[in-house]
Structure 1
Amino acid sequence: MTTRERLPASTVLWRTAETMRLGRREFASNYTPAATLFATLPRGVLQIVFFTVLGGVVAGDGHRAYAFVGGLAIALTTTNTVGVINVPFGDKYFGTFWRIRTGAMPVALLQYARAAPYLIAGFVLFIIEAAIAALLLDMSGLAVRLLPWLPLFALMACGYALLGIAAATATIAKRADVLAPNLLACLTMLCSGAFLPPGRVGWVDAVGSVLPVRHGLAAVHAGLAGRPWQTEALLELAICLASAVLGILAVIMQTRRATRHGHDDFA
């Protein structure tokens, strides 16, 4: 079979499912139960607790609820979702990109399918972290009120993951593949509105408006306050879709580069 032959839809679905199964095994090898239990889980809990306490100290007890919601979003994205960048990293370090780009399946589809288990596991872990942090902070009531808004948190995680894959894929040949996702994490933490409410610093608002998380968090805060939230949710969805497109463009760029140079060593 050549790469120009169209695969039946049933074959595409089956291969996508098999790729997700591979991604699950890949995730299990990168994040063992011991590492998750003694490293990732405590880190997420402490991150939520730290930013909630910090918000109360800096802005008063009235800001603790705002900081708690923001801490949840940051823990979900920069702690639990960042693992998806292992997908392009793995192809680089193990030299497997050529096998993927010369196959019959779209490269971007395979990347996203392999990343899905990371995203799902990270979200499950996030729920556990949120429950533990809420108990420690005596904010269980707020945590219960947030349950209907979990789909928005999932949307934020998805947008951040897709943009992280795009950033890692686009810079993997420039030896900046670690720097780019870390820079994205810092920008997200600063510009998401998690701890600095909108309207305080102009350039922070401008940068945050085109990054994942900010609009999703604004929608959650609006929903909790009984204000209209649909517009912000739609903006978050638009950024998520734009991030997916950027990931596809990054894959196309690297595929063409590999074809032009005749190798996939990303030197």
Structure 2
Amino acid sequence: MPIDDLPCYEVFAVRYAWVDKQRGTNFVTCDHYDRSMPMDYFVWLIRNGEKLILVDTGFNEAAAHQRKRNFLRSPIDGLALLGVRPEQVTEVILTHLHYDHAGNIDLLPNARLHVQEKEMQYATGKYMKYHALCHAYTVEDVIDVLKGVYDDRVAFHDGDDTLYPGVELLLIGGHTMGLQAVRVHTRRGWVVLASDASHYYENMDQQSPFPIVFNVGDMLAGYEKLRRAAESTAHIVPGHDPEVMKRYPAWGAQDQGIVALHENPLPASPEKTHTP
């Protein structure tokens, strides 16, 4: 389809939790400036007048307590601020099946789940005997997706795919075997939701992946793929960076924790510039 004929979508980041971390825990290579570097948790909503697609489903309050995360609200409740009821969500892209991306499936009874075949293979396969790889999964969440397979609610994708005109899935791998990013056509051009292909802007900028990683080489190559897919680096949205909330205009009240990614980024200010 010619790009002029592609539909445009609104894209929102909905913040639902956060945790304080140290810089040294966020990079696979040594970081000598070990100070506070918090992590935010998001789900994303893609919509226009015809389509409504949720990207990832987050975790619940019990998981937040278990993993010592600061829980702001249910991510599903956060959608209500955008006028979206759970039963209206009929399409969900799961970028991967880690606990912070694939919980709350039970709250979305009408949703069809879009997952990479490699991710399901990974989350239910031989590598899950290793704590270093399985600790970011919650067995119950994986089982919920598996139940969805038996109920014919899961659509498997084998590599890059077009979900709808203007919404594309990009197999990245790296962080997990089947991690996928999402490319969305907006009025400001192609925006790429990187999810955990790059947790922070700095992971990609410094070519230093987040330490939870299945294949470092694939993750590094994934940074290149993200850049090729996006209109510019300013169109790439990392999966956990608090900077996202600062760089984009708020949707509704500032304290609602929702920003509009289809809008142009706010003008840069000195306090947003990273200095080690």
On whether the aligned pair clears a TM of 0.5, the verdict is: no
Hey, which of these two has a bigger chunk of helix by percent?
1
Which has the bigger relative contact order, CA under 8 A and spacing at least 6?
1
Answer with 1 or 2: which has the greater Rg: 1
State the TM-score bracket (shorter-chain normalisation): under 0.3
Hey, which of these two has a bigger chunk of strand by percent?
2
Q: What is the TM-score when the length of structure 1 is the normalising length?
A: 0.22
Q: What is the TM-score when the length of structure 2 is the normalising length?
A: 0.21
